[in-house]
Structure formats: C-alpha cells, structure tokens
C-alpha cells in the first residue's frame, strides 16, 4: 500500500491585487482545497491591512480577522495541518508587527521633533499615552496578533515617552 504524501500551499504572496486573492480562493473552492482557500484569504487580509491610507484601528481589524478566521486549523488536526496554520498565523503576526513598528517609529520621530522644538514633555506624554493605547491596547501581555519580539520593541518605544 503506497503512502500518499500531502502537500500544502506555500505561504501566500503579499501585495497582490485583491482580484488575485479572490481568483485563488475561488480556484481553491472548486478544487475543494480548504488550506489553499485559507492561505489566499490570509494573503488578501494582510495586503488589505498594509494599505497606507488606513488608520491603525482599520489595519488591526484586518490582521485580527485573518488570525481569528483564517489561521485556525480544523478540529483534531494532525501535526502537518497544525503546523501549516501556525505558519499562516506567524505570517500575519510578522506583518502586523512590522506595520505596528513602522507606525510607532513614525510617531516616535514626531515626538522627538516636538521635544527638540521645546514642546512641554507632559503634552507629548499625554499624546503618546493615547497613541500607544490605541496601537497596543491597555494590556501588558502580548496579544495574539503580535509576536513577542515586536511586542517588546513596541513596549520600548512606548516606555521612553510614558
């Protein structure tokens, strides 16, 4: 009896047109390939979240949706299936963390300029508290949409202003 080897889709490319992901998801549905479908949706939602015109809250909505809806393995997965969905979730976390660090670094630069121009530190602290509260939430533990390394960097940026 021959053992049939399963193959999983590669991690989705990021930055394609939304129609690319829609076609890929429809193709996966026609083939009955759930894993390819979820991979396409993860690529789509990461790409949507990276749109520069979105607010952080809008970006986070896409990242969280990708994690909650498209990075969850089916019930009772074997190790290969579990690892595939873990890789998808890690891809979301990687992009979410990079985007959060990009946004936080821009804000950090603005605070530094404001401080160098002589603005009252208390005003900057109040703005930083509001900004980092939206970016990171009001918790001290790493949420599921960030990886630990990015979370620690975000905390370092935040803590220099608070």
Rounded mean pLDDT of 46-70? 97
Q: What is the DSSP letter of 118?
A: T
* Domain with 100 in it: 18-159
Of 125, 126, 137, nearest to 100 by C-alpha is 137
Residue 3 lies in a domain: no
Q: pLDDT for 74-95, tens place per residue? A: 899 899 999 999 999 999 999 9
How confident is residue 99, by pLDDT bands cut at 50, 70 and 90? Answer: very high
Phi-psi label, residue 32: left if phi above 0, alpha if psi -120 to 50, beta otherwise: left
Residue 1 lies in a domain: no
Residue 110 lies in a domain: yes
Residue 116 lies in a domain: yes
Q: pLDDT for 8-42, tens place per residue? A: 999 999 999 999 999 999 999 999 999 999 999 99
Sign of CA dihedral 103, 105, 107, 113: negative
pLDDT the model gives residue 3: 44
Residue 4 lies in a domain: no
Residue 10 lies in a domain: no
- The total of structural domains in the chain comes to 1
Reported pTM: 0.91
């Amino acid at each position: 009896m021959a053992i049939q080897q399963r193959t999983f889709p590669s991690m989705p490319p990021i930055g394609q047109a939304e129609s690319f992901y829609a076609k890929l998801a429809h193709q996966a549905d026609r083939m009955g390939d759930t894993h390819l479908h979820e991979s396409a949706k993860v690529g789509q939602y990461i790409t949507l979240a990276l749109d520069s015109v979105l607010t952080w809250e809008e970006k986070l909505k896409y990242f969280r949706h990708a994690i909650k809806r498209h990075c969850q393995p089916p019930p009772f997965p074997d190790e290969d299936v579990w690892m595939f969905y873990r890789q998808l979730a890690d891809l979301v976390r990687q992009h979410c963390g990079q985007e959060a660090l990009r946004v936080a670094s821009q804000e950090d630069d603005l605070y530094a300029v404001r401080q160098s121009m002589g603005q009252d530190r208390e005003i900057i602290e109040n703005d930083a508290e509001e900004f980092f509260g939206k970016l990171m939430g009001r918790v001290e533990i790493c949420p599921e949409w960030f990886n630990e390394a990015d979370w620690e960097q975000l905390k370092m940026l935040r803590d220099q202003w608070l």
